[in-house]
Each structure stands twice: as structure tokens, then as C-alpha cells.
Amino acid sequence: MNAPFPPPPSQEGGDGGSQAMPAPYHDGLPSGRPSGKTMKERLVQLEVLRYNPDTDTEAHFQRYEVMCQEEWVVLDALNKVKESIDPTLNYRWSCHMAVCGSCGMMINGEPKLSCHSFLRDYEGVIRVEPLTHFPVERDLVTAPDDFMEKLKRVKPYVITKQKKPIEAGEYKQTPAQLMKFRQYSMCINCMLCYAACPEYGLTPHFVGPAALTLAHRYNLDSRDEGRRERMEVVATREGVWECTFVGACSEVCPAQVDPASALQQLKIVGSIDWIVEHLLPGGKP
Amino acid sequence: METVSTDVVIVGAGGAGLRAAIALAETAPKLRVALISKVYPMRSHTCAAEGGAAGVIKPDDSFDFHFHDTVGGGDWLSDQDCVEYFIHEAPRELLQLEHWGCPWNREADGSVAVRPFGGMKKQRTWFAADKSGFHILHTLFQTSLQFPSITRFDEYFGLDLLMHDGRCRGLTAMEMRSGELRQFHAKAVIIAGGGAGRMFPFSTNGAIKTGDGMAMAYRAGAPLKDMEFVQYHPTGLPNTGSLLTEACRGEGGILTNKHGRRYLQDYGMGPETPVGQPQLKTMELGPRDRLSQAYWHELQKGNTVSTPWGECVLLDMRHLGAKKIRERLPLVHELAESYLGVDIIKDPVPIRPVVHYMMGGISTNTAAATPLPGLFAAGECACVSLNGANRLGSNSLVELLVFGRRAALSAIEYIHDLSPTNTSPLEAAADATRQRVEALHRRDDGNESMSGLRREMMDTMEKNVGIYRTEAGLQEGVNKIHELRERYTRVKLTDKSRVFNTDLFQILELGSMLDCAEAVTVGALARRESRGAHQRLDYVERDDTNFLRHTMVYRQDAELPRVDYLDVVITRSPPGVRDYSGDKR
Amino acid sequence: MSRRPLIRELPPTRWFLRHPRYLRYMAREVTSLFVGAYCVLLVIAMQRLSAGPVAWQEFLVALRSPASLVFHLAAMAAAFYHAGTWFNATQKAMPLQIGEDFVPGAYISGAHYLVWAVLSLVVLFVAGVI
């Protein structure tokens, strides 16, 4: 006997068994459809910054009005605009659960993931712009090249003096040792912190919050021996010493990574290294 | 058209693609690797996997257990030589990831911790809270940054494989930010492009999961295998479809209907186990196909709970307590709270099954090689026949690693024996791609809207190719998808500009999904039996006489695809009864 | 046509008007001017003291002028604010882990406030005010 299931009480003749599944509402939009009562709907006004390098010399705002369900997020509203009003509107998105980091935008002037910006939290016209401090390719699509380069520069990977063979099994790491760095490993690379950091906006050579935080994450990992290498990038004028602790990075971080804390800790580590190296006889950090 | 000459092209930079790239860089550092992806690697959908990755490591576990769990879980449609290879490689790969810095949860003594998972007889799922896929992806991506032989082409949209003399010699891709085409000339190509769950309207899959890699291979002549097996994850949020990981139940969460009854006991997964003491391989820790099917039966009986988001059952985790929920299921806690307004510490959360994973894909053998020489595939886009008719939770993250690496090793071996050829025929093939894209831009009489066709496709898949299927429904599905494919030739490109034209990308993605959808429907219609995730109301029994074999679907341009079959490899586990009835003592 | 990325420059003199959090940051930075000015005042006081009793008396009289009082009140407010931002930062810069858990940040900042209060009392006591 393969099927453990009793035959269903009523067969939906010929129409495919799945028809009783709740019907979808819209592509790409939360598909819950009210059964019986209707979901609360609301006319949402969006003001979206548009820029097309083919035709525009400057960016301009465009107004859209769409009917949305009250529980939707700003990304759902954009998707509905793209599907039903304007296919030429461009933006990135994928996971719709605040983990892939694609859909960072300025929403009413605040760097946010649009998939985690709930319409219920906004009144009136919602103003949507591309992330600040990054060049705009088109509409809400920015160029993250600078961030990608900086990420690579801080060597965000385990560095060991000698490679441990797989046969030797795992590195022992206690829950306490894990907790020491875990928070800093939660960065989704959404770049909201770069859009919030005025330091990065004013002095673009600043390595910036997310990349420095990842350096700190590996520095704190009990398996890693690469701190000295990383500090050559981190404890520099382009690194943590460019940070003046505005703290905006931590305020906007959607993953509660708290980059500001990582950077302040790096400053202390960098200072101690400097003191050991320059002020103690024969000192090496 | 600019040409990039390289040794290996990898399409897709998620778990499998990155693992392949690193294996190439480590094993053959002189080979140039072009890693192309339509998104930045951190955006790949591997990041959304939550629960964990299975590998035998604890003393009470054994390779035998993992073997039998996987083969039985797959309803004997898995190739057993493949499963054998996989289970032995799995712990190695997970350890490798540990050495690269993956923040696995730990026991008090510092060793790696494991958690229970559906359909697994022993605890063997390595996990990093409920963000396991996220950590695996970022660990791989960050590790890959140290290898100079890997050149990334982020946000390049793969278009067509370049074939010559029956061999795969590269591909064409579009740089998304400029709209310019590039041809990549290579000795081997590895496709790691992910699944195609977005052909369904209600899915845990991200927007990027449109089967472009599958379709690319399919168009080039590679068969798609076992595409009719589409996994519904039993516990998705009813409005957004976001995944609530199987670990919810692994940690002790229970499923109840509107009467508060743990209804799984009524569907061969009982007897009821004590609340908060989950027992392996029974009740809430049964396999995903059975759990999703049980929902459907509850729905028919009127035992579901009506919510503003449709008919649901309840996932109750209150008894786990706030501390355990915050420590082990923080993402689930957050998702339910913010998207549905339910605090799982205080209330049961309504859930329903949601399309999650495709067992089928580009046909590969255990060496991750497709039937086309020079073309390899790994990950969800491939069907290496590990998962059979139903994948067990926490096998797929390991599959990315094991077969991502294997594809790389196979490619190295293949390149070693390859003689050089000239590239001029490739230019001609690349030009065909250019014309295809240009035609879209130039066409003014297009009268089919992309979003309209897409919605019809999704509605068709939802209606006719759901958890339970019938001959008539599937026939309707086949006809409809075929019609949509024909209408797709008249699809209208509204946005004619070149820079980051998502209107164009969505049209290309729709083409990929329609190809995949046709393979799913045709395969499902032909399989007149019920096995794993493929359940027919008109053929309710498994039929090992006629269907203990893989469906192989070959694309034919304007006609319906050709269906063929391939025998399942059985080594030491003859087809038997899938028993999830728990401890009978 | 192809790529022509648009660079949106930050206005170098007005950027902090974009959001209240930047204004708070600027306020914190401005308070350091008062702290600095008060340090200068202390140096002047030393110099006056070393110049003899007459100079010192004149200096003390000057301190009682309305302008001086206003300055002192403002400097004190600024010093409080500035010190507060530092103490609040300590929980980020110096996290304390005991076993798996971190000591709540409020405890770390709170401890700093406490030490500050105690030290202030000691100073006031040594100065004979209390």
C-alpha cells in the first residue's frame, strides 16, 4: 500500500484536485485572498524617483496611485505598479523576507528594505528613492561596485597559518565563542548602512560600516588567525579612523547587526595594537 | 559582441555555483573561472533556506540510516548509487564549511550541534539558528573572494548555451546594467541556476527563481528529468508564502486543525506523540509530501481554519517557550510577527502548504554531468536523482555543496582530455541570440502582455498541477501551457531602453518558466501513478511495474515535448513501504 | 545608449538637515566646543593664579559676571550632554560577555553614570562644597 490516505470525501470532478486551494491574488504579491470577509484595502500614493540614462539628464519624481491591501509592504505596492501601470519602472527584489538584501531603497528619506516597510506604518504620499551615496544606474537601481570592492578588501574569510585537514574534524568552538561574533555574521550586505552613513557620503574612500563589521566578525572568530592582516586595512584613516560614530548605521540596520558597536570595538583594538607596537619595548601587536 | 575567453563558465552564484567555483580555484588554480549570475551572489536564493543541512556526524547515526531515510523519503525514485555517494560526501562538505567559518550552532563541548528534521531517523541536521542557508551562502561567497582565478560577472543574465560539434563551449549573456551582450567562450559550462518555483503563484521562492538555467540547458537539447515532482512545503505563511522552517516542528511545534486535533495521526503518521517531545520520522516529523497531502484532506473534510488569507491549519509552538524560540527560531518569530501579526510565543500561527522545491531538473549523473558533453549542472536546477519523488528537508543544502564540488571536479577532468577547437562557429551561434533579443526590441506588433501571460501560467499551474492531480486537469494544463508558449512568441516589450531593463528580463524569465512549466505538466500527465510529491486522484497507487523510472522530457520547438524514460538505479534497497507510523511499541 | 550613472552629491554644508539623527550628531559635536572652551578657561585660571592674588581676585570677580554665568550654565549643559553620549557609547565599545550571554548594555552605561556620580561627589567633597 503506497497511499496512506483515505479517498477524499468529495471529488472535484475532472478539474484537478488542487482547485480547492486558496486562489492566488496577483503575481509577486501576497496571495492571501479573503475567505468570506474582505481584506482592508487602501489607495496608496507613491512618489518614485525615475531616471533613465537613455532619455533623462536628471532624475525626476513620478506619482503613482495603486489600490493595495493594508497589510502589504512598499515592495508589494511597487510590484503592483510595475504589473498593472508602468512596466518601465525598475528596481531589484527577490526574497520578500528581508534576508537577500536586494531591495534597499530610501523610503521617505530613510534607508529601508522595501520588503520590510509596511504600508500600515506610512500615511500620505510615500516617497521612494534609490539608496543615497551610490550612483544611480536607472530608477531605483544603484551601482554597488564600490561596496563590493571594499568587502573584498577587508578579507572577510578565515585565515589560518596552517590549513587544517578535513579528516581532523571540526574546530571546537563553544557556544560562548560562537556568540562572541555571531551578531556580526548576520549582515545581509543590503548597504542600508552605507546609505545612512554621512561619513561615507562625504568621504567615499571610507571602507564603511558593513565591510569593517565583517572584518571584526572574522577577527573575533576563534578559528581565525588573520587579525593582523585585516588590521592593515581596518586600522587606517580610510578604515575605522574615518568613523566619527554618527551611529546611523546601527539605527537603520535591518538585521540588528549594530555595525557602530563593531567599529568602536575595532578602534579600541587598533589603539591597543598601536600602543603595544610603538610604546612598549619590543612590542608586537 | 565582446568575447570573454575563459576555461569554465559557471551560471549561477548561489550555494552550488560558489562551491563549484571554489573547488575549481582550489583544485586547478590555473583554470580561469567566470562566475556569472543575474544577481549579486549574496542575493541568491540559497540565503532563504532556514532549517539546516544533513550530514552523518554523531556516534548514534550511520550512513546506512541516512541512505534509507533518503531513498524511502524519495519513494524509491532516487538513484541509489547517487545517494550512496552523497551521504558519504555530506559530512566532509559540512566540515569544510565549518573550516571556512560557517557559524554552526554548537554543543556545550564545542562540537557541532544537530537538530531533528522531517523524515530523518536520527538527528543529523547541522544548523545555524534558522538562517542556515544564509550563513552557508555568505560563508561561501566570502571564502570565494580570496581566489584570484575566479572572475565574477555579477548581474549578467545568461541567455543561450553555445554548442559546437555536440559539445557545450560557452554561452551568451547580457550585462544587465548596460544591456550589452557578451559571449563567453569556455571549455566547460556548469549550470547552477536554481529552481523554477515562481511558475506557481504561491511559493516560498524568491522572484529570481525562474528556471533560467534549466531552460537554457533544455533549449540546447538536454533533457529535463522528473519535473513533475514539485514539493509543497507544509508550513508557509498564508499571505506572503514565506517559509516557516521544518525546524519549527523539529524543535517540537505541532500541527492542529480547527478542532485542535493533531490530524496527522489520521493519515498514517500516528500514533500521537507527546506535545513538546517530537519523535523522529513520525507525526510532525513525517516527510513533506505526506504532510502537505494531509492538509489537502483536512481541507476536503472542512477541518481547516478560515482566515482572512484562506483556509489554514495551525502550527502551534507556544509550548516551546520564549527562550527556545528566540534562540533557535528567531527568524520564524520575526516573520510571523511582522508579516502576519502573530506572536508565535503567544499564539498558534495559521499556515498552509506552499510550493517550495523542484525535485526535477536538468538530467545529470552522479558525476554532475548532463548528457551534453561539456555541460554540467548542480543544485536545484539539476536532477541528479538524489531526492527522487520527494526531497527530505535539509538534504538540499548539502546537495548544493556535494554536487557543486563534484561538477567542478568533473569539469576539470573533462577539460584535461579536451582538444582545442576553433571558435568561429560559436560566433554564429552567439549572433542568433543577439537577433532573438533584437527582435524583442524591434517588434511593434506584440499584443500579449508579459504580466497577463505570467498570471495565466501561474493560475494554470495552481489549478491543474497542485498537490493532487487528475488526468483531465493535467490535460487542461498541458494544453494551456502549450497555448501560452505559442502566445509568448507575440509578447510585447514595453520598455525599449537598454540600461537595466527589468521589463526585458521578466520577459526572458517568463520564457524560461513556460519551458519548465511545460516539462512539469507533460511529465505529470504521463506519470499515471502516485509517488511522493506526484499524487493522482485517478491513479492512487504507486506503480513500480510501469513507473519505477525517471521521466525524461526533451524540448521540441513548436510541438509538445517528447517524453522518454530512464531506469532508476537500485542497488541495495528494493522498493518498499514508506512507514511513518512511529514507534509501535 | 548605454550606461550613464547618475551621481547624487551630498550637499557638503547642509547634509545634516536631512534627518534628525544627523542633527543630534551635530549637536554632540558642537558640545565639544563648550567643553574645549571651558578647558581654555581653566588654563586662564591657572595663569591668573600664578600672576598673584590681585589678578586672581579680579578673575574671580569676572567669573561672577552675567555673561560668565550664562557661559558656565551652557558649558555645564553641553558637558552633561557630551558625557552622556560617551557613556551611552560604552556599551557598544566595551561589551561584556559572561558565558554565552552579554551583560545588558544598560548595565554597562549605567555603571559609568554611577562612577561619574560618585567621582563628582568626591570632587565636591574635596572642594569642601559638601
SS3 state of residue C70 = helix
The verdict on a CB contact (< 8 Å) between B178 and C1 is no
Mutation target to probe the A interface, by most A beta carbons within 10 A, among B44, B47, B56, B355 is B47
Nearest in space to B167 (alpha carbons), one of B151, B188, B144: B188
In a domain, C107, yes or no: yes
Residues of A whose CB is below 8 A from C16: 198
Bond before A8 cis per omega within 30 degrees: no
Q: Which residue of A has its CA nearest to B544?
A: A2
Whether residue A14 is predicted with pLDDT greater than 80 in this model: the reply is no
Q: How many CB atoms lie within 10 A of CB A193?
A: 29
Q: Which three cell numbers stand for residue C116?
A: 561619574
Chain A residues with CB under 8 Å of B462 CB are 18, 21, 23-24
Q: How many domains does chain C have?
A: 1
Q: By residue range, what is the domain housing residue C89?
A: 15-127
What pLDDT, on the 0 to 100 scale, is given for residue C107?
Answer: 97
Phi first, then psi: give them for residue B469, nearest 5 degrees.
-130, 155
Q: Is A245 on the interface with B (CB under 8 A)?
A: no
Q: Domains (ranges, CATH) in chain A?
A: 41-142 (3.10.20.30), 145-279 (1.10.1060.10)
pLDDT tens-place string over residues B294-320: 999 999 999 999 999 999 999 999 999
Please state which CATH class domain B425-543 belongs to. mainly alpha
Instruction: For chain B, give the mean pLDDT.
Output: 96
Confidence (pLDDT) at A38? 58
Half-sphere exposure of C39 (CA within 13 A, CB side): 7
Is residue C6, in this structure, part of any structural domain at all?
no
Q: Name the catalytic one among B164, B233, B333, B536.
A: B233
| Position with higher pLDDT, A157 vs B424 | A157
State the cell numbers at B315: 502550527
Beta-strand pair B114-115/B125-126: antiparallel
> Containing H/E element for B524?
helix B502-526
Q: Given strand B53-54, what is the order of strands in its sheet?
A: B53-54, B125-126, B114-115
Q: How far is Cα B232 from Cα B205, in angstroms, rounded to an integer?
A: 11
**Residues 6 or more apart whose Cβ sits within 8 Å of residue C108:** C90, C91, C94, C95, C96
Neighbours of A156 (CB within 10 A): 27
What pLDDT is attached to residue A34?
41
Comparing alpha-carbon positions, the chain B residue that sits nearest to A51 is B499
Q: Say if the Cβ atoms of A100 and B45 lie within 8 Å.
A: yes
Contact B166, B152 (CB under 8 A): no
Active site residue B550: no
Give a yes or no: residue C10 inside a domain. no
Sequence ranges of the domains in chain B = 237-354, 425-543
Q: What is the mean pLDDT of residues B326-355?
A: 95
CATH number assigned to the domain with residue range B237-354, chosen from the 4 options 3.30.300.30, 3.40.718.10, 3.90.700.10, 3.40.50.10610:
3.90.700.10
ipTM of the prediction: 0.96
Smallest CA–CA distance, residue B39 to chain C, in Å, is: 18
d(CA B63, CA B73): 15
Decide if C1 is inside a domain.
Answer: no
Q: Give chain A's mean pLDDT.
A: 89
Q: Is the pLDDT of residue A197 over 50?
A: yes
pLDDT tens track for B2-16: 999 999 999 999 999
Q: Does B558 touch chain A (CB under 8 A)?
A: no
* Interface contact flag, A9 B301, Cβ < 8 Å: yes
Probe site for chain B from A170, A171, A222 (most B CB atoms < 10 A): A170
Instruction: Give the pairing of strands B254-256 and B310-316.
Output: antiparallel
Provide, as residue numbers in chain A, all residues whose Cβ is less than 8 Å from the Cβ of B474: 16
Q: How many CB atoms lie within 10 A of CB A257?
A: 23
- B240 CB within 8 Å of a chain A CB: yes
Residue B238: pLDDT over 60: yes
The dihedral built from the CA positions of residue C59, C62, C68 and C72, taken in this order, carries a sign that is positive
Chain C residues whose beta carbon lies within 8 Å of the beta carbon of residue B179: 2
User: Is A248–C21 a contact, with Cβ atoms under 8 angstroms apart?
Assistant: yes
**How distant, in Å, are the alpha carbons of A48, A98, A114, A243, B398 from that of A212?**
32, 22, 25, 10, 30
With respect to residue C7, please indicate whether it lies within any of the assigned structural domains. no
Residue B361's pLDDT band (cuts 50, 70, 90): very high
**pLDDT attached to residue A20:** 40
> What are the residue ranges of helices labelled H in A58-208?
74-84, 145-153, 175-182, 192-196, 198-202
Best to test chain A binding among B139, B212, B440, B451 (most A CBs inside 10 Å) = B451
Chains A and C: how many Cβ contacts under 8 Å? 76
CB B429 within 8 A of CB B163: yes
* A172 pLDDT higher than 70: yes
Mean pLDDT over C16-32 rounds to 94
Contact B178 C3 (CB under 8 A): yes
Is C77 among the domain residues? yes
Q: Tens digit of pLDDT for each residue in B368-398? A: 999 999 999 999 999 999 999 999 999 999 9
Active site residue B164: no
* A238 vs A34: which has the higher pLDDT: A238
CATH number at residue C83: 1.20.1300.10
